[in-house]
Amino acid sequence: MDERPRIRDLRPFLKVLTLFLGTFLIGWIGSVIYLSQTYPDIEWDWDNIKTSDIHFPLNFAWGTATAAHQVEGNNTNNNWYVWERSVDDQGVSRIHNNDSSGIAADHWNRYLEDIILMKDLGVNHYRFSIEWSRIEPQKGFYDLEALSHYRKMCKALLNGGITPVVTLHHFTHPIWFENMGAFENEENIDHFIQFSELVFNELMNLVPIWCTFNEPSVFVAQGYFNGIFPPGKKDPVLAGTVLENMLNAHVRTYHKLKSIPGAEENQIGLVKNIFQFDPHRRWHLLDWAFSKILNDVYTNAPLEFLSTGNSSFYMPGMVDNEMSNPNAPGSLDFIGLNYYSRMHVRGRINPAEPFVFDTREQDIMTDMGYPLYAEGFYRALKTISKLGVPIYVTENGLADNTDNIRPLFIERYLYAMNQAIKEKIEILGYFYWSLMDNFEWAEGYSMKFGLYEVDPVTKDRKLRKGSQPFIDMVNKRGVDERGYVVGVGEMAPDFTMQYISGEKVKLSDLKGNVVVLQFTASWCSVCRLEMPHLEKDVWQAYKNRGLVLVGVDRDEPLDTVIKFQKEMGTTYPMALDPEANIFGLFADKNSGVTRNIVIDKDGKIVFLTRLFEEKEYQDMIKKIKSLL
Q: Catalytic residue numbers?
A: 215, 395
Closest CA to 211 of 144, 290, 275, 129: 129
Closest CA to 375 of 80, 31, 41, 5: 41
Cα–Cα dist 451/465, whole Å = 9
Contacts of residue 425, Cβ cutoff 8 Å, sequence gap at least 6:
381, 382, 385, 391
DSSP letter assigned to residue 49? -
Rg from Cα positions in the chain = 30
Query: Reduced to 3 DSSP states, what percent helix, strand and coil does the chain have, rounded to the nearest 5?
Result: 45, 20, 35
3-class DSSP state of 113:
helix
Cα–Cα dist 441/107, whole Å = 16
Where are the extended beta strands (E) located within 535-586? 547-554, 574-577
Bridge partners (DSSP) of residue 336 are 271, 392
Cβ burial, residue 68 (10 Å; 0-12/13-18/19+): buried
Give the Cβ contact number of residue 549 at 10 Å: 23
3-class DSSP state of 127:
strand
Contact 520, 531 (CB under 8 A): yes
Cα–Cα dist 270/264, whole Å = 17
Cα–Cα dist 243/255, whole Å = 19
Within 143-188, residue ranges assigned H as helices are 144-159, 175-179
Closest CA to 171 of 218, 206, 207: 218
Contact 200, 210 (CB under 8 A): yes
